[in-house]
Structure 1
Amino acid sequence: MSFTLARFVLLHSRVCSEAATTTKNNGGLISTLKKRKFTSTAIPRAQNKTSEELLVVVGGGAAGVYGAIRAKTLAPNLNVVVIEKGKPLSKVKISGGGRCNVTNGHCVDNKMLAENYPRGHKELRGAFFNVHGPVDTMSWFSEHGVRLKIEDDGRVFPVSNSSSTIIDCLMSESTHLGVSLQTGKAVITASPTAGGKFLLGIEKRTFSSPEYVEADYLLIASGNSKQGYSLASQLGHSIVDPVPSLFTFKIEDPRLADLSGITFPKVKATLKIENARRNIPQLTQVGPVLVTHWGFSGPAILRLSAWGACVLSSSGYKGTLIVDFTPDVHIEDLKSILTQHKNRFAKQKLSNSYPSEFGLVKRFWIYILGRQGLLGDTLWASISKNSLISLAHMLKHCNFYVTGKSQYKDEFVTAGGVPLSEISMNMMESKIQSHLFFAGEVLNVDGITGGFNFQNAWSGGYIAGTSIGKRAVGA
């Protein structure tokens, strides 16, 4: 579909007049899941209000494309145009290290699922995931030819281990349904018209002046782009200041650089932030941690960054990280193990002999010794009882000063956006402006790592697309 259709308003004089008057696990498990299908039942054409109505979707990401597909499925005669400034589904392409973490297959209970969203966990406890949850997402992709697998930690990936499989599926379905995808363009202005439509100013890369279009429905699914926040503001919405979420920690300790690449399968990490106005229970996380040349990364750290995003932002991304490297061993048992090791290996050097029960690598053990001021050449027989106690406490309460954040690869998630209090969650429609819908990260919703951010996009896009599609056919 081209912008030369009669639906598009190209006369600048009219624009000025309008503006002046209005401002399976490995392929097997998925097929056995109980499926609530991504309904494709055709609405009888006799019920259609008009074949001339237009939906403009701002943003060609997961939420936008999924929402466009759903709306076009329910309303085949609805003109659907997705406008994307860059490359469509670009975040899908890089997610999960290029594998695309589609959703999470372990959280099937809606209340448990909602707890994985630092912003939005209260609002998402309702019907949001009942309408379209992880099982529905997996069923939809499975029914459209994508074989999926659920990994041990719950993350769901295509069996191909390639995000291109997901992209190809979405693009193929869009083409099949007749969704128009227009790239290299951006919607820069939006205002309601006297007739209940939206007058949109669309800017092309190759033209200095924008063209204008009237849309019957508008779905803003622009991710964390400033474009979406601007359009929402123009249409009367407030914006919660966006701040980064899901990032790694920079640590003030040059000795950590020598430990880069070391992975701890399970630690207990607690983030303490000075002058924090409220207590956040989730600022203690248990899980894997990776040492990098700048500090710490890994699932436990990313979860901490997500839950602490707002307070970390207000503190200048500074705080204290307290790490328990032996979370399954009680402090008294730790002391006992160290004492027994001293008695058994009295004539060996500290650097060459240490308890295997701790599951530590030699480089890190030497680092811990250095933090305690102990030399590696010292014999175990020479270690005092107080030194053993100090070592035990260091392993259970090792402090690191966080000096800032680092972006997690190219996957950037933002906390903030349009407040959920301004959205009707059962339809994803604005409470301020009729026929205006939102989905995805443009809203003040963000999830921890593990497929939760994409699930928010699929669910929101589906609900918005359903609302638009039903309204377009008069249902």
Structure 2
Amino acid sequence: MAGAATALLLCQQHSFVTANRFFSASQRKTSNTVISSKHEVLVVVGAGAAGVYAAIHAKTLAPHLTVLIFDKGYPLSKVKISGGGRCNVTNGHCADNMILAENYPRGHKELRGSFFNLHSPVDTMAWFTSHGVELKTEDDGRVFPVSNSSSSIIDCLMSEVKQRGVYVQTRKIVKTASVTNSGKFLLEIQQQPADHAEHVKADYLLIATGSSQQGYTLASQLGHSIVDPVPSLFTFKIEDLRLKELSGVTFPKVKVRLKLECVQRNIPQLTQVGPMLVTHWGLSGPVILRLSAWGARYLFSEGYKGRLIVDFVPDVHVGSLKSILSNHKHKFAKQKLLNSCPPEFGITKRFWSYVLQQQGISGDILWASISNVSLMSISSLLKECIYEVNGKGQFKDEFVTAGGVPLSELLCFERFHLTQWKARFAHVFSLPERY
């Protein structure tokens, strides 16, 4: 959840006063009228993870503030399907904020300062735990609810929304945003279906629309420039009939390296280690998603074509592979190759069969009969299996994009001393895109 959404906070430089109800049911039916409040109002555009979490914290830090969320769809819809339906909440291995910042492909320099010191993953985990959601940290650092269900996160957030008195308006789109002479934001809200429109005045505006074009449009209307967004979290499409037969096979740990024609220098981040999944269209899993994030701009410029080099046994030194295979040959000389794979490799029987097929080795021969040349070819494939990437996985909406409002145009990350609540608010919810 954390890091998967982008939010931009725009606000006036004065403190909160007592707030009241935003507007009544009868007012909501009014067409083409200006709806305002004599009390201070925060409008959040987008009911995703960032928007909802931001609204809750704003209301917590300023209880008398009126907080209203607008969204064209249902709240937290992407949270529901994130992490394979489990919801990856944050990272539990980076207690050092400096190290954590380095994991952001874009924006790590800006995040090294006071940003994470104000609200780190530790704070995020503590917040959910204090609100009744038990969390667990997996070996690769990903944090999930113990229930393994995103509904635990959704129920927690929506319960807080209700308890804090945050108003959520669905099937409504914020079409335009401007600033009045008095310094307030004037927003045009369109009901879905577009049968009428209303205008809302707000003292504070939080744009939390992720990669939606809506957010870019609003930011542009308010004077921000936009860096053209490109997909930044996707799977790799690979045309390999034998690989497709392995669909569903997982690898707990592989090392992958991406080679692209446009990249002539060594970029350490284009090599990643982690879990991988074979799909019917190619390769996926955390290690592929991280690689796509670091190579987002390069892959876009190359038309999502490149060469992927996979080390299926990264913990086994290349010099040890031949010894392991030779020892296995002598120990299991009378067994068929297909029925006996060295356990040191930690691979499935399906993948072992794939390795033998790729090297043209019959699985029916005995280990005693395999040649040293064949052992070397098996070693080579396990340590350096090459795939041609010829596209990215196709999704209706990309979860994450690289681009949007330049960080240089956001509130300076070193100036979070306006007030305690405002510092935390701007800090937590102006997250640049992580992946």
**Normalized against structure 1, the TM-score is what?**
0.77
Structure 1 segment 225-244 matched on structure 2, within 5 A: 225-244=212-231
2:67 alignment counterpart? 80
Does the 8 Å CA contact 1:415/1:444 hold for their aligned counterparts? Answer: no
Secondary structure (helix, strand or coil) at the match of 1:237 reads coil
- Compared CA separation, residues 80 and 399, structure 1 to 2 (3 A): same
Structure 1 residue 88 displacement after superposition: 1.0
Confirm or deny: 8 A CA contact 1:219 1:439 kept in the other structure. no
The Cα shift of 1:206 comes to: 3.8
The 1:107–1:409 alpha-carbon spacing in structure 2 relative to 1, beyond 3 Å, is farther
C-alpha contact 2:180 2:186 (8 A) present in aligned 1: yes
CA deviation digits over 1:19-74, x for unaligned, max 9? xxxxxxxxxxxxxxxxxxxxxxxxxxxxxxx9612211111122212222222233
Structure 2 Cα separation of the partners of residues 65 and 396 of structure 1: 45
Change in CA separation of 1:13 and 1:147 when aligned onto 2, cut-off 3 Å? closer
Corresponding pairs, count? 405
What is the CA distance between 1:438 and its match in structure 2? 7.4
Query: 1:251 aligned to 238, 246, 258, which one?
Result: 238
Which residue number in structure 2 is paired with residue 149 of structure 1? 136
Runs of 5+ consecutive residues of structure 2 not aligned to the other structure: 1-20, 418-424
- Whether 1:365 aligns to 2:352 is yes
Q: Could you tell me which residue of structure 2 aligns to residue 22 of structure 1?
A: none
Does the CA-based 8 Å contact 2:54-2:429 persist in structure 1? no
Quick one: which amino acid aligns to residue 259 of structure 1?
Answer: L
Question: How far, CA to CA, are the matches of 1:210 and 1:219 in structure 2?
Answer: 20
Q: Is the 8 A contact 2:140 2:274 kept in 1?
A: no
Q: Does 1:90 align with 2:77?
A: yes
How far does the alpha carbon of each residue in 1:330-371 deviate from its partner, in whole angstroms, 9 at most, with x for none? 222212333344455556544344433323333322322222
- Change in Cα spacing, 1:282 to 1:401, as seen in structure 2 (3 Å) is same
Deviates further, 311-320 or 240-249: 240-249
Q: Is the 8 A contact 2:31 2:197 kept in 1?
A: no
User: CA 1:346–1:173 in structure 2 vs 1: closer, same or farther (change >3 Å)?
Assistant: closer
Cα deviations by residue, 1:280-320 (Å, 9 ceiling, x for unpaired) = 31111122222222221222112111111221111111111
Who is 1:118 aligned against? 105
Question: Structure 1, residues 155-186: CA drift from partner, whole Å, max 9, x if none?
Answer: 33333333223223222322233222111101
Kindly indicate whether the alpha-carbon contact (under 8 Å) linking 2:336 and 2:364 is maintained by their aligned counterparts in 1: yes
| Secondary structure of 1:149's aligned partner | strand
Contact 2:34 2:200 in 1 (8 A): no
How far did residue 277 of structure 1 move? 6.2
> Using the alignment, how far apart are the partners of 1:348 and 1:163 within structure 2?
46
Give the partner amino acid of 2:378: L
- Residue aligning to 1:187: 174
Query: Where do 5+ consecutive residues of structure 1 fail to align?
Result: 16-49, 430-436, 448-475
| Partner Cα distance (2:264, 2:178) in 1 | 39
Match of 1:390 in 2: 377
Distance 1:212 1:365 in 2: 63
User: For residues 172 and 357 of structure 1, do their structure 2 counterparts lie closer, same or farther at Cα, with a shift above 3 Å needed?
Assistant: closer
Check whether the contact 1:273–1:311 (CA below 8 A) recurs between aligned residues.
yes
d(CA) in 2 for partners of 1:194, 1:438: 24
- After superposition, the Cα gap between the structure-2 partners of 1:108 and 1:318, relative to the gap in structure 1 and judged at 3 Å, is same
Matches of 2:409 and 2:113 in 1, distance apart? 16
Cα shift at 1:392:
1.7
Residue number in structure 1 paired with 2:404 = 417
Change (3 A) 1:424 1:362: same
CA–CA separation in structure 2 for the residues paired with 1:289 and 1:13: 53
- Classify 1:417/1:411 alpha carbon distance in 2 versus 1 (closer, same or farther; 3 Å): closer
What's the counterpart of residue 249 of structure 2? 262
2:15 paired residue number: none
Pairing 1:67–2:54 present: yes
Could you tell me whether the CA contact under 8 Å between 1:229 and 1:442 is conserved in 2? no
2:267 to 280, 283, 290: 280
Q: Distance in 2 between matches of 1:51 and 1:72?
A: 18
How has the CA–CA distance of structure 1 residues 208 and 185 changed in structure 2, closer, same or farther, with 3 Å as cutoff? same
User: C-alpha distance in 2, partners of 1:138/1:323?
Assistant: 33
- The separation in 1 between residues aligned to 2:76 and 2:33, in whole angstroms, is 36
Identity of aligned residues (%): 67
* Cα distance between partner residues in 2 of 1:424 and 1:75: 20
Aligned counterpart in structure 1 of residue 433 of structure 2, from 445, 449, 453: 445
TM-score by length of 2: 0.83
Closer, same or farther in 2 for the Cα pair 1:316/1:192, shift >3 Å? same
Q: Is the 8 A contact 2:34 2:199 kept in 1?
A: no
SS of residue paired to 1:247 = coil
Kindly indicate whether residue 328 of structure 2 is the aligned counterpart of residue 328 of structure 1. Answer: no
SS where residue 245 of structure 2 aligns? helix
Decide whether the 8 Å contact of 1:100 with 1:162 is kept in 2: yes
User: Residues 409 and 269 from structure 1, CA distance in 2 versus in 1: closer, same or farther, beyond 3 angstroms?
Assistant: farther
Shift of 1:230: 0.5
Q: 2:420 is matched with which residue?
A: none
SS in 1 for 2:393: strand
Counterpart amino acid of residue 329 in structure 1: V
